[in-house]
Amino acid sequence: MKTICRSKFYALYQSDEERCHYLDMGQKTIKLSFCQLLALRHKVQEIAIEDHFDSAFNKHGFETLMLCNKEHLFILNTLETLDLKELVEKSFFKLGIAYPASVLV
Amino acid sequence: MRSYIWYFCRKQKKMKDIARQQMSIKVSTMDALNEQIKMEGKASASYLAMASWCDQNGLPGSADFLYKQASEEREHMMKIFTFINDAGGNAISPEITNVNHDFSSLEEVFETALEQEIAVTKSIHKIVSLSRKSEDYAVESFLQWFITEQLEEEKSMRDILDLFQVMGTDGIALKLIDERIK
């Protein structure tokens, strides 16, 4: 398995033999097809991190994340959420199917 | 020693480009296209609201025209939706909120429609620029149809608004305009 990207709490790997990815979430490692990886990206992008700093919207600063068609459930705090967002963004850039935001502005 | 290093390097396989094999477009342009899906969906819902207003205010010609516009916008949305999925991406079904149902006149309906079409045109042009910057030529090519289509849409609305300039906005003029709108 080859390492695509590593962040403070998480890591993303690619398995050429199985043609899939593995996401190490600390407590467990989950297998993701490319479609599932795209779905993860969408869910992570949709997280409104600003709500974590507003007690009216997200009093306890936790995020629940269901992955792979509800096969896995994770509960993340604010720092873990930020870290996962960063990992996902960098991973897609390293996979060669995203352009850095600085170029697109 | 040198031949051993050369042999070792040859044995190291390059990582397979699984992501590129699965997806023909970039995720940044995919995101922009998903936003465009939302916009086209909202446009369709807006035309429905306008058609409903026209029906309620005794303007059947305008209502028919706007019902057709609503269907057309949905077709545009589906074109983009299918393109994203065909390209290996993840098309997102849009949430439509805050659709305006209040208009003070038929002229305002078509002014709103023209502003809406202009907003859609600008959005498409932005995605074309983005696709060029990210070297996503498949998306740029796909959007050419929309650029032409938007020219026609804006012209349709502009031509209708010209009728109000020529014929006026009161009484029988309104009825005559409604009969001419196709």
Domain boundaries, chain B: 24-180
A21 contacts in B (CB within 8 Å)? Answer: 18
Task: Flag if A103 and B18 touch (Cβ within 8 Å).
Answer: no
Domain membership of residue A43 (yes or no) is no
One-letter amino acid at B151 equals L
pLDDT tier, B15 (very low <50, low <70, confident <90, very high otherwise): confident
pLDDT (tens digit, 9 = 90+) per residue, B153-163? Answer: 999 999 999 99
Select from A1, A3, A92, A97 the residue whose CB has the most chain B CBs within 10 Å, as the one to mutate to test that interface. Answer: A97
pTM: 0.88
Q: Does B94 touch chain A if contact means CB atoms closer than 8 Å?
A: no
Burial class (CB in 10 A: 0-12, 13-18, 19+), A70: exposed
pLDDT (tens digit, 9 = 90+) per residue, B47-76? Answer: 999 999 999 999 999 999 999 999 999 999
Domain membership of residue A84 (yes or no) is yes
Q: Which of A14, A41, A104 is nearest residue B15 as measured by Cβ atoms?
A: A14
pLDDT (tens digit, 9 = 90+) per residue, A1-39? Answer: 899 999 999 999 999 999 999 999 988 999 999 999 999
CATH says B24-180 is which class?
mainly alpha
pLDDT tier, A59 (very low <50, low <70, confident <90, very high otherwise): confident
Domain membership of residue A39 (yes or no) is no
CA distance B6 to chain A (A): 21
3-state secondary structure of B88: coil
The interface predicted TM-score of the complex, written ipTM, equals 0.85
Element spanning A77, H or E: strand A72-77
More confident residue, B4 or B181: B181
- At A83 the pLDDT is 96
d(C-alpha A71, C-alpha A58), whole Å: 24
Residue B7 has pLDDT above 70, yes or no: no
For residue A8, what are the domain limits? Answer: 2-34+48-97
Residue B85 has pLDDT above 80, yes or no: yes
Count the domains in chain A. Answer: 1
Q: Does A99 touch chain B if contact means CB atoms closer than 8 Å?
A: yes
CA distances, B139 to each of A18, A66, B105 (Å): 30, 31, 39
3-state secondary structure of A58: coil
CA distances, B49 to each of A98, B112, B175, B179 (Å): 38, 12, 20, 20
CA distance A79 to chain B (A): 25
Residue B127 has pLDDT above 80, yes or no: yes
Domain membership of residue A9 (yes or no) is yes
Query: Residue A85 CB: number of other CB atoms within 10 A?
Result: 16
